[in-house]
Structure formats: structure tokens, C-alpha cells
Amino acid sequence: MVLYDFLMEIVSKNKPRKEQKNVSDFIRENGFNVGINHVVFRTTRRENSDFLEDDFTYYRNEIAHAEFQNDFAKYETLSSAVTNVLINKLLEVIHFGIQNLE
């Protein structure tokens, strides 16, 4: 979650608000949502909402909500779903953001 917060900080620079939408927009605008090792987008689980969010945002929210609800079984399941592939892709997006936005 620290890496996600760092990415959100980077992509929200010069934006009116620091928000998760900036992360999803950055991924789309820079082509990380296409290709063999693309970032997957899925429908949000937020009630009464119908938009797509990237895997980083999805897992960040799911893990945070499991923590808030003290649902340790869900937390453990979600944590094991965060693979090295996902972490490496997140680092790639962060690296790109640092190179191109700073």
C-alpha cells in the first residue's frame, strides 16, 4: 500500500486533488492498460458506482477494507493475490512516472 500511495503522490502532482482516479487515468493515458503485461482494469466494487479501476487501486482498496473490518481471512487471501508480477508492474509504472512527471 505504501507503493500505491507513492504512485498516487507522483501522478497527482499538479492536479487539483490527490485521488485514486489520477492513478487509473495515468495508467490509461500512458498505455499501461494494453499489451502482454498490461495492468488489468475491473469494475469497481464500490456500491452504486459503475466505473473501471486498475488492479493496483482495486487491491489497495480491498486490502484496506479487509483491515478496517478486521477480516483477517480476506486480508490473507488478498495479500497472497498480490504477486511479484503485480508488484513489478507497479514499480514499472512508478519508475515511468518519476522519469516523466518530475
Q: What is the pLDDT of residues 77-92, one digit of tens each?
A: 887 888 889 999 999 9
**Could you give the 3-state DSSP secondary structure of residue 54?**
strand
Distance (Å, whole) CA 59 – CA 96: 21
Give per-residue pLDDT as tens, 33-92.
998 889 999 998 888 888 999 999 999 988 887 776 777 777 778 878 888 899 999 999
Contact 46, 58 (CB under 8 A): no
Contact 37, 84 (CB under 8 A): no
* Residue 102: predicted pLDDT: 65
Ramachandran region, residue 18 (left: φ > 0; alpha: ψ -120 to 50; beta: rest): beta
Taking the CB of residue 17, how many other CB atoms lie within 10 A of it? 7
